[in-house]
Each structure stands twice: as C-alpha cells, then as structure tokens.
Structure 1
Amino acid sequence: VPPYTIVYFPSRGRCEVMRMLLADQGQSWKEEVVTLDVWEQGTFKASCLFGQIPKFQDGELTLYQSNTILRHLGRSFGLYGKDQQEAALVDMVNDGLEDLFRRIARQYRHILKEGKDQYQKELPGHLKPFETLLAQNRGGQSFIVGDQISFADYRLLDVLLNLELLFPGYLNDFPLFSAYVARLKSRPKLKAFLESPEHVNRPLAACIKM
C-alpha cells in the first residue's frame, strides 16, 4: 500500500506539483477524489482541519495546507537546498510562486472568457523575478536555486505548464524558461508522468474543463 494519499478535487489545482514531485522521486501514491457535489454537501468539508483541501496522508501523519505539504516533501526527499541559505531561497521562490498562483486563480474565469490578451501582456512582469533568479544561477542552465532540484523547481514547472495551457506557445517569448521546462520535462520519471493519461486528461481546475 503506498504510504502517500492525496485527497483532492478531480483537477490539477494545488496538487499537481505534489504529484510531479512524487513521480520524479520514484514514489507511488493513492488518490482519493472529492467531487464538487460531495464537497458542497459540507460533511466532508467540516471534517477537514481548516475546512479545505488538499489533505495529504503520509503514513500516520495527516497534513493540510498545500505549502506545508510541499515543505514536508522537500525535507523528506532532500529537495530543500544543500544548506540554510539555499533553503531560505527555496522558500522565497515558493512564496513568490504562491502569490502568482493566487493571482492566476483569482482571474482564471476572466482569463478564459475575455482577458487572455491583457493578461498575456502582463506575463513578463509577473515572471520577471523568477527569470532573474534563474539567470543568476549558472546563467539559467541549472535549477532555480543551487545545483540540485528542489521543491521550488516542481512548483515553478507547475506554474509554467499551467500558463502553457492558458496561453499556448507563450514560452516562445521566454527562451530561458523554455529551455528550463525542456530540461525538467526530460527527466525520465517526470517525463513519464507528464505524458501519462492521468496528467494529460486532468483539468486545470475542478470548476471548468480545459
């Protein structure tokens, strides 16, 4: 029985980064899907510590809060930088990506319906901090922090792939990110996951089919 269980909506949302991390690290996990109907009934929601999911099971340990789960996995698999300085930078990148994720989530429906052009014009500004950090680390030829993959890399890859769904071809305007995405996607276990039907057919958000 896999030691890990992801309890979440039938979407990528806040959990695809966890799935990518686990897959790339050669781990298996179980999925428990919570439909919107079940969630809206309220009983399961009331059972969740903060009234929200994802819920993550690591053996006997139950965790809520997606960033807590990511940090836990980062520590578990040595994906938190090689020292305290790198760990601080990993945290900074993840916090910056959380801000960007929330911005995208708030505008998701609007982007799909009518705001694509305007938001795409704003993308360079939103992505500039991460582009700067990537460029400062070995000229953008390595990871976002240090010389080994961290959970911040999976988080950044998740955001960049989500944007690719919303704005097909946008990476052409970001050669540094384009090469970075290609490098990460070439990792054998991650490549297999990203090409799997489970990932490909999973919608970005539970409320709207992509």
Structure 2
Amino acid sequence: MAGKPILWYFNGRGRMESIRWLLATAGVEFEERFFTTREQYEKILCDGVLLFQQVPMVEIDGMKLVQTKAILNYIAEKYNLHGKTLKEKAFIDMYSEGAYDLMVLIMAYPFLSPAEKEKQLDLISKRATDRYFPVFEKVLKDHGQNFLVGNQLSMADVQLLEAILMVEEKKADILSGFPVLQDFKVRISNIPTIKKFLQPGSPRKPVPDENYVKTAKLVLQF
C-alpha cells in the first residue's frame, strides 16, 4: 500500500491550501513538511526535485509533483472529483480557475503594505460581487442542481467553497446578494469530509499572520 502523500510548503495557506482542501475532501490523510529556513529550501533545490524551483510540491504515488494546477488535477482525477466526460472536465477546470483567480487576490493580501491592503480589500470585494460570484450564482440557478457540474461533487465545488470562505473572512456579508450561493455554502460545508476539515484541529490553516509572511520571505528571499 502506498504511503500518505507528503506536502512540502510553509505552515500556512498559500498555494498549498487548495491541495489540502481537495485531499481532505477525498478523505485522504497526508503528512506535511514545513520550510522554516532558507537552508532547508536550498537543500531541496540542490536535490533537483523542484523542477521549476518553486513550491508547493507533493509526493504522491511515487512522484514528486510541482505546479499547483497539475497537482490539483491529478488529485481530482484520482479521487473522482474531475467529472466523467471531457466536457465536464473542461467546465470543472473553467470554474475552478475562476475561483482560484479570486483566491489569488486574497493570497497576495498579507504581503502588502497597509495602504495597499486597503485598496486590495476593495478590489477583492468588487471582483467577488461584480465578476466571480454572479457567474456561479447563475450557473447553479440555471441548472437547478446541487453542484456546479454533472450533479456530483467536483474540484470546482470545493474550490468555490474555499473561495467563498476566504472572501467572507475579509467581508462577512459578501454573500448577502447571492441567495443561491448561500445555500451552496451550507450544503457543501456539510459534506462529511469537508465538515471535518472545517473543524478546529484539522490540517486547515488559519488566516495568514505576520509569522507566515516573515517565514515565506525568509525562505524564498523576496
């Protein structure tokens, strides 16, 4: 039997958090290796396993995978979270990319100056309410099903819930004008594996703090 996947990143959200979400949704236990010093990072760089000198990296099924989208797609395929047909896969990828684009705006937030943070909050709120959430509200309303694609849980649903919760951390009433997404949030949050991941003590990481920012800058030297 293959061992647990091993996740190489910082002890924080960043680009690894969606990977944690997807593995947890699939009910897969995993181990984590956290970078805390530049020396640790340089060692793994010298070992040649980071193809593009970037993290996240996930060891799974005898492979050392890098690039977030590739990792997510592999996990989604492996655990039946990527649709049944080519058309379904295309729509899942499209919706996932939309949710991830919104999350990237929030990932950048902790690294900004106070003045930049204020502008970023406005941008996050505007993009969520004007660009991204209206699309998902319409998709769910138009086909009247519980999930975004194929009436079964997929990577797209998981990433949309993650995005919703991340935006709500910045603006609690962000879903006030999106009743369908409000129902979606409750429904997906209560899927047993996801509900477990949302409980205290799970591998889910908290909102990035100053220590996370400091560590990332130290390790990556930026």
TM-score under structure 2 length normalisation: 0.80
Secondary structure of the structure 1 residue equivalent to 2:213: coil
Partner of 1:96: 98
Same amino acid, percent of matched pairs = 29
Secondary structure of the structure 2 residue equivalent to 1:7: strand
Superposed displacement of residue 24, structure 1: 2.3
Superposed displacement of residue 10, structure 1: 1.1
Deviates more, 1:43-52 or 1:112-121: 112-121
Q: Is the CA contact 1:2–1:30 (under 8 Å) kept in the aligned structure 2?
A: no
Q: Are 1:172 and 2:173 matched, yes or no?
A: no
Deviates more, 1:63-72 or 1:119-128: 119-128
Partner of 1:159: 163
RMSD between aligned residues: 2.7
Q: Is the CA contact 2:7–2:56 (under 8 Å) kept in the aligned structure 1?
A: yes
- Which of 137, 150, 156 is the aligned partner of 2:143? 137
Partner of 2:74: 72
**What is the distance in 1 between the residues matched to 2:204 and 2:65?**
26
**What is the distance in 2 between the residues matched to 1:60 and 1:169?**
44
Superposed displacement of residue 101, structure 1: 2.9
TM-score under structure 1 length normalisation: 0.84
| Alignment coverage as a number of residue pairs | 206
Superposed displacement of residue 186, structure 1: 0.6
Q: Is the CA contact 2:17–2:205 (under 8 Å) kept in the aligned structure 1?
A: no
5+ residue gaps, structure 1, are: none
Q: Are 1:125 and 2:130 matched, yes or no?
A: yes
5+ residue gaps, structure 2, are: 215-222
Change (3 A) 1:85 1:64: same
Q: Is the CA contact 1:55–1:64 (under 8 Å) kept in the aligned structure 2?
A: yes
Q: Is the CA contact 2:139–2:148 (under 8 Å) kept in the aligned structure 1?
A: yes
Q: Is the CA contact 2:5–2:59 (under 8 Å) kept in the aligned structure 1?
A: yes
Q: Is the CA contact 2:106–2:124 (under 8 Å) kept in the aligned structure 1?
A: no
